[in-house]
């Protein structure tokens, strides 16, 4: 069980990651995880006002009777009728809602990468070896679907680890297209449709930028809007750890769960699309889910 607490910080015990708040009768102490405390510690000063969700249960931590902080909802500095707001999750959620509701074409994209060998991997550089994407209009209607293997340039022979993990054979990739074809296709799509590009995690944009450099191509990514859907989930639901794409899908799937991930780029792109629309429904209060 949890309870909502708000009050003015009286003191900060940094080495214990504890803040003390003036209660009705006495000081009460609240403990935070390392990640949470580090994220907000620059704001934690005397007289800063905080809104917390905390565990109802008390425990002793390093000699201090504390309650665990589950989440921080708002941090502000009082200033008569114009408080200075440092953090407000409700405002952040409003901005996320505006983002997912934008009337824009959307490109849901995923890559599979080459993996290092089990031994002698010191000089290995990963490359995109499969791409899958779904391009939709602002209403979610499919415009284009694409899937292709990509021939790697630096290490054309795939490692056994890659072949086993992705359930491929060397001929799959040898028969794939050159990276320049993907580069040209993405540039064309961006020029014609100007989509928001939704990916799961930060690696996809990084890997594209890396391959542009490897192939001595202009890095066009600054002209494209990438949105990390995983990061949106972590912010909106205030998750401490990363959420797997298929775990996210199962949360929204309404009983139609997927248990066997194939590590196929197009399938992952389609799953990313489904997760986006589930998340959009949550942002618009059309769906309630339990992510903890």
Residue range 101-283, CATH number: 3.30.420.10
> Average per-residue pLDDT in the chain?
93
- CB within 8 A of 254, min separation 6: which ones? none
DSSP 195: P
Nearest to 144 by CA among 249, 261, 269: 269
Sheet containing 142-149: give its strands across. 142-149, 128-136, 106-113, 196-199, 225-228
User: Which part of the chain has CATH 2.40.50?
Assistant: 2-90
What number of other Cβ atoms are within 10 A of residue 144's Cβ?
A: 12
CATH number 2.40.50 given to 2-90? yes
Q: Model pTM?
A: 0.87
Please provide the size of the chain in residues. Answer: 292
Give the number of other CB atoms < 10 A from CB of residue 103: 7
pLDDT category at 261 given cuts 50, 70, 90 is: low
- pLDDT of the residue at 253: 84
Residues of the chain with CATH 3.30.420.10: 101-283
List pLDDT tens digits, range 236-260: 998 888 999 999 999 998 766 565 6
Q: How many CB atoms sit inside 10 A of residue 222's CB?
A: 7
Could you list the beta-strand ranges (E) of the chain: 2-13, 18-22, 27-31, 49-61, 64-77, 84-88, 106-113, 128-136, 142-149, 196-199, 225-228
> Which pLDDT belongs to residue 254?
72
């Amino acid at each position: 069980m949890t309870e909502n607490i708000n009050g003015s910080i009286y003191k900060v015990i940094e080495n214990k990651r504890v803040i003390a708040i003036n209660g009705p009768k006495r000081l009460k102490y609240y403990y935070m995880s390392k990640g949470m405390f580090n994220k907000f510690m620059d704001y934690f000063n005397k007289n800063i006002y905080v809104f917390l969700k905390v565990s109802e249960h008390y425990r002793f931590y390093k000699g201090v009777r504390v309650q665990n902080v589950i989440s921080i909802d708002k941090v502000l500095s009082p200033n008569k009728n114009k408080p200075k707001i440092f953090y407000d999750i409700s405002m952040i959620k409003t901005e996320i809602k505006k983002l997912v509701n934008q009337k824009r074409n959307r490109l849901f994209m995923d890559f599979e990468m080459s993996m290092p060998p089990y031994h002698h991997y010191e000089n290995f550089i990963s490359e995109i070896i499969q791409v899958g994407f779904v391009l939709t209009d602002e209403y979610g209607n499919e415009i284009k679907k694409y899937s292709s293997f990509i021939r790697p340039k630096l290490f054309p022979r795939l490692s056994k680890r890659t072949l086993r993990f992705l359930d491929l054979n060397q001929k799959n990739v040898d028969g794939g297209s050159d990276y320049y074809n993907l580069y040209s296709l993405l540039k064309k799509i961006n020029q014609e449709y100007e989509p928001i590009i939704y990916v799961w995690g930060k690696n996809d944009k990084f890997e594209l930028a890396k391959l542009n450099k490897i192939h001595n191509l202009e890095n066009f990514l600054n002209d494209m809007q990438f949105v990390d859907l995983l990061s949106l989930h972590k912010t909106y639901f205030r998750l401490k750890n990363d959420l797997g794409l298929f775990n996210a899908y199962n949360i929204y799937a309404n009983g139609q769960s997927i248990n066997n991930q194939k590590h196929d780029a197009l399938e992952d792109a389609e799953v990313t699309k489904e997760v986006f629309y589930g998340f959009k429904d949550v942002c618009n209060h059309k769906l309630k889910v339990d992510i903890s």
